Amino acid sequence: MRPEVTFEASVRRVEGPLVFVARNADLGLNSMIEVVDREGRARVGRVAALDESTMVVEVLESTLGLGVRDTRIRVRNEPLLFGVGPGMLGRTFDSIGRPLDGGAPLPAVRRMRIDGLAINAARRALPRDFIETGVSSIDLMNSLVRGQKLPLFSGAGLPHDRLATQIALDARLRKGEDAGGFAIVFVGMGVSHDTAAAFRDAMASSAALEHTAMFLNLADEPATQRLLTPRYALTAAEYLAFVEGRHVLVILTDMTNYCEALREVSASHGELPSRKGYPGYMYSDLASLYERAGCIQGMPGTLTQVPILSMPGDDIGHPIADLTGYITEGQIVLDRELDRQGIYPPVRVLPSLSRLMNSGIGAGYTDADHPALANQLFACYARADHIRILASVMGEDSLPEVDRRFLAFGRDFERSFVNQQGRRTLEESMAIGWRLLRGLPAQELTRLNAQQLARYLEVSPHA
């Protein structure tokens, strides 16, 4: 690699986080740049665009004070790299991987590219096995599988930050597995100072901090930093998963803030907008983040993602939610009506889906009766939801007895299963599910076999 070069730049103009410079050096896209102002202060940046005469530098810090005539450019002629090592767990970092917790600099054992290395599709393994989040509506009904990317669709004002923190604190491997083989990378993008402090306080008060690395990007930081925050965090996760061999869960909140930053930076580049002003390449940009999850043949670790996004106007067809749904393997949907009823977490079970659930549950993974119970609860709750619509027209008193029992099941399902205080194990969630089914006629439980009816619901095989 060629040594770094420092030269007086012919700065043509400064627009927000972008510095337009005459191309006086031979370098490529995403090369690391240091922009040095008149006082000698260096600000990290990268080359965002090039032509024969001009290069556009994205400055990852404030451009306040940069002059057109007295700015120097230091070119390192290498991509942005992150020094990673085993000391990352238990630490808090800023948007671009610098320690925020007042601790010593991270002792790095290697430097890795933040844009990641593409996983050979032929070496990808099918995600298997189970991560227990402690949330009944996820663990039992929409199970999270190691190596999966399962987004959470929320809305403005809904408690997705609280749920993200809860999952980070409570998620773990199943009993009998090495707890040291599990790690969490928690990423907050565009969060307020109060929210960032709440995240840090919650982690500091829990033993989960020992196996968690946290990356925080504040709302008042430049948009260009927000675009790099998940890349630094995922680089740390790739090291923990594919070098140290851990099972890593990455929680990304809020991807809507990331996409808003992408739109802002794209507009400052003068790029043509697509739907709702977002750049046309937003799909491939999101895919470059989400597809870093997975399992690789021959490597013991896995990388699982739970991206969280708040849908503008609760519109699930909004470009951010729409494109995320195409790339990922399902979705967990939060519901405003359940939140108004005081139900937490307000997970709307019916439109939620985990497409890889059946690859990670059942005999050998969770419980042999887990799939049947989940299917039966889905079927019964869907019927209760349909009957609820009929009752709003006809009145509950005019319904037959069996329909009234399904209505009662639906209410109890929301109040005692979806609603929860504190962490639940999968076994506790299943016990609640079996209890709820005891209130329904056995002949209506068509997703269960005779042995399951007899064992859990005490129904005689000859009944």
**Amino acid at position 104, single letter:** A
Tens-digit pLDDT string for the chain (463 aa): 444 555 555 778 888 788 888 877 777 788 888 888 888 888 888 888 888 888 888 888 888 888 777 788 888 778 889 999 988 999 999 998 999 988 888 889 999 999 887 788 889 999 989 999 999 999 999 999 999 999 999 999 999 999 999 999 999 998 766 666 899 999 999 999 999 999 998 888 777 788 999 999 999 998 888 999 999 999 999 999 999 999 999 999 999 999 999 999 888 888 889 999 999 999 999 999 999 999 999 888 999 999 999 999 999 999 999 999 999 999 999 999 999 999 999 999 999 999 999 999 999 999 999 999 999 999 999 999 999 999 988 888 888 999 999 999 999 999 999 999 889 999 999 999 999 999 999 999 999 999 999 999 887 665 5
State how far the Cα of 216 lies from the Cα of 16, in Å rounded to an integer: 22
List, in order of start, the domains of the chain with CATH numbers.
5-78 (2.40.30.20), 82-359 (3.40.50.12240), 370-457 (no CATH)
- Other C-beta atoms closer than 10 Å to the C-beta of 8 total 11
State how far the Cα of 130 lies from the Cα of 135, in Å rounded to an integer: 13
pLDDT, one tens digit per residue, over 268-310 is: 888 889 999 999 999 999 999 999 999 999 888 999 999 999 9
DSSP-derived secondary structure for 395-433: -GGGS-HHHHHHHHHHHHIIIIIIS-SS---HHHHHHHH
Q: What is the model's pLDDT at position 7?
A: 52
Nearest Cα to Cα of residue 167 among 295, 432, 301, 345: 345
Would you say 159 and 339 are in contact if contact means Cβ atoms under 8 Å apart? yes
Q: What is the model's pLDDT at position 44?
A: 85
Q: What is the model's pLDDT at position 463?
A: 53
Q: What SS3 state is found at 262?
A: helix
Helix (H) or strand (E) holding 166: helix 160-170
Q: What SS3 state is found at 34?
A: strand
State how far the Cα of 100 lies from the Cα of 288, in Å rounded to an integer: 26
Q: What SS3 state is found at 309?
A: strand
Q: What is the model's pLDDT at position 281?
A: 93
| Rounded (to 5) percent helix, strand, coil in the chain | 40, 25, 35
pLDDT, one tens digit per residue, over 195-230 is: 999 999 888 877 778 899 999 999 999 888 899 999
**Amino acid at position 15, single letter:** E
State how far the Cα of 444 lies from the Cα of 438, in Å rounded to an integer: 11
State how far the Cα of 366 lies from the Cα of 339, in Å rounded to an integer: 30
Q: What is the model's pLDDT at position 2?
A: 46
Cα-Cα-Cα-Cα torsion 185, 189, 193, 197, nearest 10 degrees, comes to -10
Let me know how long the chain is: 463
- Across the beta sheet with 5-8, what order do the strands follow? 5-8, 72-79, 31-36, 42-50, 54-59, 18-22, 11-15
Q: State phi, psi for 123 to the nearest 5 degrees.
A: -100, 0
- What are the strands, taking DSSP E only, across 204-299? 212-218, 247-253, 294-296
Q: What pTM, to 2 d.p., does this model score?
A: 0.92
